[in-house]
Structure 1
Amino acid sequence: ILCKDCDNVKRLIKEYGKSHVSYGIFTEADLVAKDIELDKLNSKSKIYWQGEKIGDLCLKVAGYHNILNALAAIAVALELGISFTEIAKIFETFQGVHRRMEVVASTDNNILIIDDYAHHPTEIKATLSALRSSWQNRRIIAVFQPHRYSRTKLLAEKFGKAFFDADCVIINDIYSANESPIFGISGGTIFKEIKKTNHRQIKYLPSKDNILSYLYEIVQPGDIIITIGAGDIWTVGQELAKQLKKTKGL
Structure 2
Amino acid sequence: MELGKTKSVHIVGIGGAGMSAIAELLLKSGFRVTGSDLSSGEVTEKLAERGAVIYSGHRPEHVGSCDVVVYSSAVRPLENIEIITAEKAGIPVIKRDEMLGELMRYKFGICVAGTHGKTTTTSMIATMLIESGERPTVMIGGISDYLKGSTVVGEGKYMIIEADEYDRAFLKLTPTIALLNSLESEHMDTYGNLEELKQAFITFANKVPFYGRVICCVDWPEIRKIIPSMNRRYSTFGIEEPADVMAADIVLEKQSCVFTIEALGTRYPGVRINVPGKHNVLNALAAFSTGLELGIEPAKLISGLGNYSGMRRRFQVKFDNQRGLMVVDDYAHHPSEVKATVRAAKSGWTDSKVVAIFQPHLFSRTKEFADEYGWALSRSDIIYIADIYPAREKAADFPGVDGEMVASAVRKAGGRHVEFFT
Could you tell me the TM-score, scaled by structure 2's length? Answer: 0.47
Offset from partner CA, 1:130-174 (integer Å, 9 cap, x none): 111112221000000111112111221221221132111110111
Q: Which has the larger radius of gyration?
A: 2
Letter of the structure 1 residue corresponding to residue 283 of structure 2: N
Matched residues in 2 for 1:130 and 1:164: separation? 14
Q: Secondary structure at the match of 2:365?
A: helix
Q: Secondary structure at the match of 1:136?
A: coil
- Counterpart of 1:117 in structure 2 is 331
Runs of 4+ in 1 over 3 A off after TM superposition: 14-18
> With CA pairs under 8 Å and 6+ residues apart, which has the higher RCO, 1 or 2?
1
Q: Secondary structure at the match of 1:2?
A: strand
Structure 2 counterparts to residues 89-104 of structure 1, below 5 A: 89-104=303-318
Contact 2:380-2:415 at 8 Å conserved across structures: no
Offset from partner CA, 1:55-91 (integer Å, 9 cap, x none): 4311000111111111111111100000110011111
- Counterpart of 1:191 in structure 2 is 407
Matched residues in 1 for 2:342 and 2:270: separation? 25
Contact 1:148-1:175 at 8 Å conserved across structures: yes
Count of residue pairs the alignment pairs up: 206
Letter of the structure 2 residue corresponding to residue 107 of structure 1: N
Matched residues in 1 for 2:352 and 2:236: separation? 35
Matched residues in 1 for 2:392 and 2:230: separation? 39
- Counterpart of 1:10 in structure 2 is 224
Contact 1:55-1:84 at 8 Å conserved across structures: no
Letter of the structure 1 residue corresponding to residue 289 of structure 2: A
- Aligned partner of 2:272 among 58, 71, 91: 58
Letter of the structure 1 residue corresponding to residue 399 of structure 2: F
Matched residues in 2 for 1:17 and 1:28: separation? 21
Letter of the structure 2 residue corresponding to residue 34 of structure 1: A
Matched residues in 1 for 2:269 and 2:293: separation? 16
- 1:54–1:17 CA distance, 2 compared to 1 (3 A): farther
Matched residues in 2 for 1:180 and 1:25: separation? 40
Q: In the alignment, does 2:261 pair up with 1:47?
A: yes
Letter of the structure 1 residue corresponding to residue 417 of structure 2: Q
Matched residues in 1 for 2:284 and 2:268: separation? 15
Contact 1:56-1:88 at 8 Å conserved across structures: no
RMSD: 1.4
Matched residues in 2 for 1:25 and 1:49: separation? 12
Could you tell me the TM-score, scaled by structure 1's length? Answer: 0.78
Contact 2:378-2:410 at 8 Å conserved across structures: no
Structure 2 counterparts to residues 62-141 of structure 1, below 5 A: 62-141=276-355
Identity of aligned residues (%): 34
Unmatched runs of 5 consecutive residues or more in structure 1: 207-250
